[in-house]
Chain A
Amino acid sequence: MWSTAREIAEGDLVIVWMTRDLVQPLAISSGKELNTRFGVYRHAELIGVPYGSKIGSRNGKGFIHLLRPTPELWTLALPHRTQILYLADIAFITSWLDIKPGSHVIEAGTGSGSFSHSTARTVGPTGHLWSYEFHEARANKAREEFSSHGMDEIVTLTHRNVCKEGFTVVDTVDSVFLDLPAPWDAVEHAKKALRKDRATRICCFSPCMEQVQRTIIALNDAGFTEITMYETLIRPHQVDVTPPLPTVSTIGNQLKEMEARREAKRLRQIANSRSRGDKRKREETEDSAEDQSAEKRHADEVDGSGKRVRTEVSVTQELDATLTEQPTTARRANAVTTTSDAGAGPGTDGQNLTAHVVKEETPESGLPPSKPSVSKAFPEVRGHTSYLTFAILLPASAIAEASTNMESPTTEPTPEAEVTPATS
């Protein structure tokens, strides 16, 4: 398919990785320029550079990574003409359909070619993929793409409506993959295309349960067996580096200190009011001012003995801050992860931020700062793609033999059925 050379050459397709969310294909053509918000690059400068290189832009504003295309990167970078399949579904379907080097596979419709590239890679030069698309412009675009990606030998693309006209091959393929709105209309056609000398497999990919129900009836009617269905997803996890969690005894001690100080203040106030005697009425109006000065005094005392505790007011603030520290930390740590996740490309500041977060949150206990990493699923993930309905079509000989056996349901096996299938 794509270049396997160590270095990038004229005409190569490379994948330009800017951030995880910004991955784009680039056909190298000296004379052209790549203009991104991560800098400007002359194609000519990229020729001869090893795949996997980080390249700084000429104006010093940012950099990009030049990657060797893989079907997985292509899925992230391809121009969308339709909805496409992603890694989790593609991988699972490939596995269940037993697609491997040498396999003969049908897919319909081609769509944006996400599944096609992965399948072409897996079946390799000894296998073959027949791909069908009834939307002419999409078919042409996909054909162009396959050709420029060196897939001519592996893929045959046909522009046709497979629900109406069926497939172009008979008794040929090991598996069929249908990603169409009405797969049930293509099931009988698929049966014709599947080879009859071995067990073959089919997968229908539909987002709605109602579609699945129609599909399974069609599959059952056509003689497919072992009908089953799966849903599969990839749950991405984010990793945060957090400081060790503060213990509740720290909080408890702070609360105890607060309580002690409040009690001391109360006792002082009682003493004061006693000494004031009959002036009390007048004093009352000045109470708040008095309070403040008492606090000042207290603050001075404490400041002399311990530097963490300043005034009662500030202690309360500090406590509040302690109580809210966890969410704050989490928020900051999240920010750190997000950055490094999106990055490793330009814009990565993860290292600095991580170091910073850890440093600032280091407890004053004198323990060496540890850096536990924690992980959790991303807050928003894909929840559904489609239902994957699978089924098997047994070899024709076996079905024929079995039905003979059923017609004479005695314990005596029919002679020709004894050792090998009647036809093979």
Chain B
Amino acid sequence: MDAGEGSSKNATEPVRTIQSGDTILLRIPSGDVRTLKLEKGGTINLGKFGSFYSNELIGQPFGLTYDISDKKLEVIPPRTFQEVEETDATNELIVDGQVQPLSLEEIEALKKSGVPASEIIQRQIDQHKNFQLKTEYSKEKYKKRKEAKYSKSFSTIKPTLFNVCDYWFKKDQSRLRDIRPDTLSQILNMANIRPGGRYLAVDDASGIVVAGLLERLGGQGRLITICDVESPPAYPVLTQMNFSKEVISIMSSLNWATADEEYTPVLTMADANADTPKSESQRSRVNKRKSMASALTQTREELFAGEFDGLIVASQYDPFSILEKLMPYLAGSASIVVHSPYVQIVSDLQAKLRDIPTYLAPAISEAWLRQYQILPGRTHPLMNASGSGGFILHTIKVYDDPSASSVNTHRRAKKARSEQLVSRLSSTAPEQTPGQREPAIDIAAQSAAIQMEVDPSNTPS
């Protein structure tokens, strides 16, 4: 570490530009996001917003905004907000429901004749009898609305984990099992994902968790996923991430049969690949089978050897059954993160885990997120917000030592003694039988004991 002035480090990977074969995200003028696979030499059709040659995008950096003109693209400046000045105008003289002066046909005709969107808007403004009566704010809003409607400009969206998660979440959050970008970020941090780490994941959330893991591993380390299908699962979210081969290469997948130590997958049975090949094609088939078998055996051995740094679960299956199965393969101090769209699932899990001493302090949390519109003088939270990003249970694997006694054992003994004293003092103290409500005095004694455990200042050392 430089003690003083750090100097520029320029040895970074080259800029990742848009390439043929990429699956890209486009924000179209309506504000919606579309996804498409970019092929060299093709034409991309954005419906009523026009079409353009796909080569126009190849080699471009992500995140720019373009106008389509004559099937070619023109970079346009990003939207900055103008300081909007207050005027004396108010909305009080506006006649509600007054129609816009330009008819749809007129607008279409203007568009066909190649008049740029900005000019159409201007003409509309000119003819809008009410326009000058409006406040500057309303005018700005009106302009924005019109711009969105008639402009052909669209933007490419950089396929960051955040953006890809956001795209899928907004499209159909149930396919991500409600994992919102903020929830995902919390999951990855809670699980301490770092390049070089070794992780297990159960992802029935279209691959959003796998995408996050692969991104944060950056081609270093190891990821084994366990799935519910015979052959390696399709994690559709990975498509938009456009990962390189190296990044994906550290992942292997097993399923709930092949991840079972007791089970011997047919593929790996010694005699399954024993036939002597008779033809060339048969030989290659046999070879392929052999290499698949050895890869499977290797992955199984790796899993069973254990010592993984963390486990992330976002699954439709009983999380307790998953933890029971995979817990043996986790290293001491490994983070375990379980996500569910339903609080009941994780709270039931928490109730079970807290009775098992190898799960340290299982805790449940919910991510809360609020986005704001940012404009000078008009900053406020967005009117529409996502209701839930699901619930997370986090715990840490520990090795229990049943012989280690807690401070509480001493306290409990003490408490028992003081309770005996209380019973002797109180002539009415009944013998406790199951089903009988306990006397009030006992409750007080308990909560006193609990108080003691919670308040550190109150503890004997």
Asked whether B10 lies within 8 Å of A172 as measured between CB atoms, the reply is yes
Residues of A within 8 A of B116 (CB): 409, 411
Interface residues of B (CB under 8 A from A): 1-10, 12-13, 15-16, 55-56, 59-65, 69-70, 72-81, 114, 116, 118, 158, 160-162, 181-182, 184-186, 188-190, 192-196, 215-220, 307, 331-335, 343-344, 346-348, 350-351, 354-355, 357, 359-372, 374, 376, 379, 391, 396-401, 403-408, 410-412, 434-438, 443, 446-447, 449-450, 453-454, 456, 459-461
Residues of B within 8 A of A241 (CB): 351
Given contacts A212-B374, A227-B374, A418-B72, 17 further A-B contacts (CB under 8 A): A52-B334, A62-B406, A92-B185, A100-B161, A100-B215, A101-B216, A155-B1, A169-B6, A226-B79, A230-B372, A234-B367, A343-B453, A374-B347, A375-B350, A394-B64, A405-B75, A417-B75
For residue B218, which residue of chain A has the nearest CB? A101
Asked whether A231 lies within 8 Å of B405 as measured between CB atoms, the reply is no
Could you tell me the distance in whole angstroms from the C-beta of B2 to the nearest C-beta in chain A? 5
Residues of B within 8 A of A397 (CB): 61
Asked whether B400 lies within 8 Å of A54 as measured between CB atoms, the reply is yes
Asked whether A230 lies within 8 Å of B407 as measured between CB atoms, the reply is no
For residue B247, which residue of chain A has the nearest CB? A101
Could you tell me the distance in whole angstroms from the C-beta of B405 to the nearest C-beta in chain A? 6
Contact of A65 among B63, B184, B398, B411 (CB under 8 A): B398
Could you tell me the distance in whole angstroms from the C-beta of B39 to the nearest C-beta in chain A? 17
For residue B79, which residue of chain A has the nearest CB? A225
Task: Place the interface of chain A in its size category.
Answer: 35 or more
Complex CA distance for A159 and B6, rounded to whole angstroms: 10
Given A54-B401, A61-B410, A156 and B361 contact (CB-CB distance below 8 Å)? no
Residues of B within 8 A of A55 (CB): 401, 404
Asked whether A91 lies within 8 Å of B182 as measured between CB atoms, the reply is yes
Asked whether B78 lies within 8 Å of A420 as measured between CB atoms, the reply is no
Complex CA distance for A214 and B372, rounded to whole angstroms: 16
Residues of A within 8 A of B459 (CB): 37
Asked whether A234 lies within 8 Å of B365 as measured between CB atoms, the reply is yes
Complex CA distance for A36 and B456, rounded to whole angstroms: 11
Residues of A within 8 A of B59 (CB): 419-420
Could you tell me the distance in whole angstroms from the C-beta of A236 to the nearest C-beta in chain B? 5
Complex CA distance for A56 and B410, rounded to whole angstroms: 14
Interface residues of A (CB under 8 A from B): 4, 6, 17, 19-22, 36-39, 50-57, 60-63, 65-68, 70-72, 87-88, 90-92, 94-96, 98, 100-102, 104, 118, 121-122, 124-126, 128, 130, 143, 146-147, 151-153, 155-159, 168-172, 195, 197-199, 209, 212-213, 216-217, 220, 223, 225-239, 241, 321, 328, 331-332, 335, 338-351, 353-354, 359-360, 362, 364, 371, 373-375, 377, 387, 389, 392, 394-395, 397-399, 401-403, 405-406, 409, 411, 413, 417-421, 424
Complex CA distance for A28 and B68, rounded to whole angstroms: 64
Given A155-B1, A169-B9, A346 and B407 contact (CB-CB distance below 8 Å)? yes
Contact of B348 among A169, A209, A373 (CB under 8 A): A373
Given A199-B61, A220-B80, A171 and B408 contact (CB-CB distance below 8 Å)? no
Residues of B within 8 A of A125 (CB): 195
Could you tell me the distance in whole angstroms from the C-beta of B448 to the nearest C-beta in chain A? 11
Residues of A within 8 A of B355 (CB): 350-351, 354
For residue A120, which residue of chain B has the nearest CB? B194
Residues of B within 8 A of A402 (CB): 65, 75-78
Residues of B within 8 A of A91 (CB): 182, 185-186, 188-190
CB<8 Å pairs between A and B, sample of 17: A4-B196, A50-B399, A53-B401, A67-B396, A72-B189, A92-B185, A102-B12, A122-B194, A146-B1, A158-B5, A225-B78, A225-B80, A235-B367, A360-B438, A392-B78, A405-B76, A419-B56
Complex CA distance for A142 and B47, rounded to whole angstroms: 55
Could you tell me the distance in whole angstroms from the C-beta of B381 to the nearest C-beta in chain A? 8
Complex CA distance for A146 and B217, rounded to whole angstroms: 22
For residue B156, which residue of chain A has the nearest CB? A199
Asked whether A239 lies within 8 Å of B350 as measured between CB atoms, the reply is yes
Contact of A171 among B8, B219, B379 (CB under 8 A): B8
Residues of A within 8 A of B361 (CB): 17, 20, 341, 343-345
Complex CA distance for A424 and B158, rounded to whole angstroms: 18
Contact of B399 among A54, A170, A343 (CB under 8 A): A54
Residues of B within 8 A of A353 (CB): 446, 450
Contact of B461 among A20, A37, A158, A341 (CB under 8 A): A37
Asked whether B61 lies within 8 Å of A95 as measured between CB atoms, the reply is no
